[in-house]
Structure 1
């Protein structure tokens, strides 16, 4: 780590010895932030866009209709940042029981993304008592169990020094010594649970920096930190459900993301980090609103088309938004009807072009809701509500 570079600026912590290496120990939150000028403008826009996204939930009787596709999208991109190459199609096919992925992704890579999905749903279910260290450790255990990094004590704060971008003197950044981690995380927990010091969106940006800088686990800190953004937005009642998927922005701006985090540590560049962070929240809220609106319009189109048809077909045309890849057995479970009834409903939607069979097999068939999936995957510049 370039110690001279840290010593030349107004650092937001202190340099400490860690077994012969120089590590960075961040100051506890909060720093002094002035919500003015460009930061105020960006914050106002982000708050407006998040509020608009929150309102989309009023059009949804079943929240999982939007939660599920957005969580899966977030899981894929968050894992991609860590080097996992899995497509959204791969994950849905994997969960529908298809043995081999379309892109050639390994089962271990698919399991990583599946773990992320499980961790988000687990976090939402356990948010009733707020965010604390027990929840963070439990979710980290879910994220890392049985996958790459699963041998590095999932769910336990690290007991060894870690390095970012190399080792020892070659590292770009050396997080806090392991002896500091429990106390730093206790301070962070207190800050979260006492409601922070600023507007919730500002505090979420501060907490994300602090978590990534402490780097409390031996592996999986990036995924856990991005998951916390989603949970804090729900915990702070900014969103009723995890409709926002922040990893897409961080992935598009990966170099600037790491540079901005490092600049806070080196130069106390809090304002610049928060502007970058809030722009991301704003962009992703707009994108999620557009995608949600298109999905809801399609839902309304299917509802009108099948309102006078068989109940099984009408119901299945809604279920496919939650599960755009499914088998007849899964349709049977979703509908709570007989296999024959479910099979007939799938056949009807296939004939209408709503579902398409993707395996080419006569047995163990998997069906995809093409129009639903196309909206989930559509490039941002093709969304109609922009």
Structure 2
């Protein structure tokens, strides 16, 4: 393995580096599945924004899991509902979630650029989490290296480019993102851009997470998806050792075809999962909303069910503010829903926490 800092190729890659015949079938299938998912979202009876909060939190859980942080979706939702004390692991997940939301919001006024990367990185490293003392919001000024815990530069699996070259490589990446000057499909470009970002490794910490946040933002900016809600971390985490190996093979073996094929397979896997989720949740939403409305004859019950889809673990206080109905009315409605096994609670007399397991079981 090379013991000197890596020197990436500038983008666009020479056309000879990529053989599209190796993954043409997967490319066609990936585009078809992403399009199918978009059509499904447009036509579902479930308002798509209702699922965004828990789906984004699950993406944050999966992406930080790749980095070794072991937190469950339930734990994060309990902290968000103020029914569990926060800790640094959960805060890492919440930081990722906030960085993702910030990227989505700023995309309306900022291009995908160094300024956007640094803004999201500052949020990712806030609140005294691991790595918060490693130049948050700034590209690195020192040499770093990647490998197993306790490794040295001599035993590292990867040594990124020299720090004084980071600005130059990121400028080239930014130019390619906004004006690619090649004929590749956007999904191929997404794979190349993600790998190039990880190869440059511009930050001292958090590069993997920022690089994965960028995937839906890029696809949204190029109008491949209608909203930046197509997240790949779950599919990548499933095969994370292959993920790392194939990224490394783009560096030391120049094997871009293997990496792009793996990336497209992850897109197909995730799109299929998303399609199943939307179909199942749509059916669940219709069933449980009809049941709740048959039990509670009030227009407010729909507002409550919609709020529960945004926050499937909640307290009366957190859900009443989301649903914009009074706490007293919420308590009365929730008592009926709990009696009919639509929601479940921890049984506490005060500060009771409720769980909508019908949805949680599908998100986990």
Offset at residue 332 of structure 1 (A): 1.6
The answer as to 2:265 corresponding to 1:286 is no
CA distance in 2, matches of 1:34, 1:269: 9
Q: Which residue of 2 aligns with 1:64?
A: 49
Offset at residue 117 of structure 1 (A): 0.9
CA distance in 2, matches of 1:80, 1:25: 29
Contact 1:123 1:139 in 2 (8 A): yes
Paired residues in the alignment total: 353
2:262 paired residue among 276, 294, 304: 276
Contact 1:53 1:239 in 2 (8 A): no
Q: Which runs of 5+ in 1 are unaligned?
A: 4-20, 101-105, 378-386
Q: Which residue of 2 aligns with 1:312?
A: 300
Residue 282 of structure 1 aligns to a residue whose secondary structure is helix
The answer as to 2:225 corresponding to 1:243 is no
CA RMSD of aligned residues (A): 1.6
The answer as to 2:143 corresponding to 1:161 is yes
CA distance in 1, matches of 2:94, 2:74: 13
CA distance in 1, matches of 2:154, 2:283: 55
CA distance in 1, matches of 2:135, 2:261: 35
Post-superposition, which runs of at least 4 consecutive aligned residues in structure 1 deviate over 6 A? none
Offset at residue 306 of structure 1 (A): 3.8
The answer as to 2:94 corresponding to 1:108 is no
CA distance in 2, matches of 1:35, 1:350: 57
Structure 1 residues 87, 61: CA separation in 2 closer, same or farther (over 3 Å shift)?
closer
CA distance in 2, matches of 1:75, 1:163: 24
CA distance in 1, matches of 2:163, 2:312: 44
1:192 paired residue among 170, 177, 192: 177
Offset at residue 35 of structure 1 (A): 5.5
Contact 2:197 2:211 in 1 (8 A): yes
1:241-285: per-residue Cα shift (whole Å, max 9, x none)? Answer: 233231122212112111111111112111111001110011111
The answer as to 2:245 corresponding to 1:267 is no
Q: TM-score, normalised on structure 2? A: 0.93
Q: Which residue of 1 aligns with 2:38?
A: 54
CA distance in 2, matches of 1:196, 1:307: 55
Residue 179 of structure 1 aligns to a residue whose secondary structure is helix
CA distance in 2, matches of 1:231, 1:336: 31
Q: TM-score, normalised on structure 1? A: 0.88
Q: Which residue of 2 aligns with 1:384?
A: none
Q: Which residue of 1 aligns with 2:119?
A: 138
CA distance in 2, matches of 1:340, 1:303: 20
Contact 2:22 2:257 in 1 (8 A): no
Residue 367 of structure 1 aligns to a residue whose secondary structure is strand
Q: Which runs of 5+ in 2 are unaligned?
A: none
Q: Which residue of 2 aligns with 1:81?
A: 66
Offset at residue 60 of structure 1 (A): 5.2
CA distance in 2, matches of 1:66, 1:78: 18
